[in-house]
């Protein structure tokens, strides 16, 4: 997995680099496009973090856990159901952001 880690990090920043080069060469700054690219990077990081929990799944883990930052509770990705909900939810958001990024680049 360590071999792929650097490749995955590069894949996260590829959309942002593409957006920056497009804006530099066209000499136009589009804040919406930049925000979409940054949000896409954040979602990819969430995706890889959730996949890292795949080895630590335990059916005895609680479904709801207290948040580390802030007040409230969140879904535990170490619970099998929480893991799949996290993967599916973030995957859907990544697809939506990828489509928005492509549409913004056109």
Q: Tens digit of pLDDT for each residue in 46-86?
A: 887 777 777 888 889 899 999 888 899 998 888 999 999 98
Mean pLDDT of the chain: 81
pLDDT at residue 12 greater than cutoff 90: no
pTM: 0.68
Sign of the dihedral defined by the CA atoms of residues 8, 94, 21, 24, in that order: negative
Lowest mean pLDDT among 17-26, 80-89, 93-102: 17-26
β-strand partners of 74: 65
Compute the distance between CA of residue 18 and CA of residue 94 in angstroms, rounded to an integer: 17
Query: Can you tell me the distance from the alpha carbon of 92 to that of 11, in angstroms, rounded to the nearest whole number?
Result: 18
The pair of structure tokens assigned to 95 is 């697809």
Of 14-23, 36-45, 60-69, 72-81, the range with the lowest mean pLDDT is 14-23
Contact by Cβ (8 Å): 77, 37: no
Among 50, 61, 40, residue whose Cα is nearest residue 85: 50
CA neighbor of 98 nearest in space, from 18, 24, 7:
18
| Residue that wins the pLDDT comparison between 3 and 91 | 91
Look at residue 81 in the predicted model and tell me its pLDDT: 93
């Amino acid at each position: 997995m360590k071999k792929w880690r650097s490749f995955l990090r590069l894949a996260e920043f590829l959309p942002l680099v593409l957006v920056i080069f497009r804006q530099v060469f066209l000499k136009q700054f589009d804040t919406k496009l930049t925000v979409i690219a940054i949000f896409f990077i954040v979602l990819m990081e969430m995706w890889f973090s959730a996949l890292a929990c795949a080895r630590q799944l335990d059916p005895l883990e609680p479904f709801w856990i207290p948040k580390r930052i802030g007040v409230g509770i969140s879904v535990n990705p170490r619970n099998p159901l929480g893991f799949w909900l996290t993967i599916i939810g973030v995957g859907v958001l990544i697809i939506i952001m990828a489509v928005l990024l492509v549409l913004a680049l056109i």
